[in-house]
Amino acid sequence: MHKWIVSDGFDAASKAAAEFLAKQITLVLKEKEHCHVALPGGHSPRQCLRYLAQMKLPWEKLHWYLGDERCYPSAHKERNDVMLQENFWSLLTNTHIHRIKAELGPEAAAESYREIISSIEPLDIAFLGVGEDGHTASLFPDNEALNDHRAVVPVYQSPKPPSERVSLSIDTLQKARSRMVLSGTASKSAILKRIKEGEPLPVNCIGNITWFIDDDI
């Protein structure tokens, strides 16, 4: 189900993930004029995205989306698009960025982003993260959003702040042509073992994933 790429240290895993992502983008662009990529938030992807920004890619043909967003005001330091802007998008020129208007609240933001995602489905690449509870994007275990089959879903009662979020749905992530996750094992070794054992966690419900980790757990 999953493919595991193990590197010696998280920096090496980040570089390997960047090289894989660049290769996937190149393969897509051999078949289509544009490539549509969903990106994760959090701390883990920062170095990977900096490496990716240094590569020679046809940035004008690339469209970037968020796997999820936190319902904070625009430009709030805890928003995923702020991290992506600082560590990736600001380093690029002539590329296409599609933000989630999470400042509108979960319902309105999900509805607005749903129109965007539905117009380009399926995504070519879903670059995701994973939480210590097995969540991916903002799809948490036992949360009602897991049962919402629309392309983009509102998320309430998140176990991590803020409680309100917007996320690509399980259905949208399942439809993506390829999926990848970058994760360090220092704090995630326990959940990664459960994922390898096949527990029905949200991240195990979206299909095959190429994993980049820094220790062979």
pLDDT, mean of residues 50-79: 98
Confidence (pLDDT) at 186: 85
Confidence (pLDDT) at 45: 97
Residue count (the chain): 217
CA separation for the pair 209, 178 (Å, rounded): 7
Q: Summarize pLDDT for 119-174 with one digit per residue, the tens.
A: 998 999 999 999 999 999 999 999 999 999 999 999 999 999 999 999 999 999 99
- 63 phi and psi angles, rounded to 5 deg: -120, 130
Task: For the chain, list the domains and their CATH numbers.
Answer: 2-213 (3.40.50.1360)
Q: Summarize pLDDT for 177-201 with one digit per residue, the tens.
A: 999 999 998 889 999 999 999 999 9
Cβ atoms within 10 Å, residue 93:
7
CA separation for the pair 129, 203 (Å, rounded): 9
Model-level pTM greater than 0.85? yes
Residue 8, helix vs strand vs coil: coil
Beginning with the edge strand found earlier in the chain, give each strand of the sheet holding 2-6 in spatial order. 2-6, 209-213, 178-183, 125-128, 35-39, 62-66, 96-97
Confidence (pLDDT) at 107: 98
pLDDT, mean of residues 60-84: 98
pLDDT, mean of residues 80-99: 97
Confidence (pLDDT) at 121: 86
CB neighbours of 31 closer than 8 A, spacing ≥ 6?
A: none
CA separation for the pair 92, 158 (Å, rounded): 32
Closest by alpha carbon to 158, among 135, 132, 174?
135
Confidence (pLDDT) at 1: 75
Q: Are strands 152-155 and 165-168 parallel, antiparallel or unpaired?
A: antiparallel
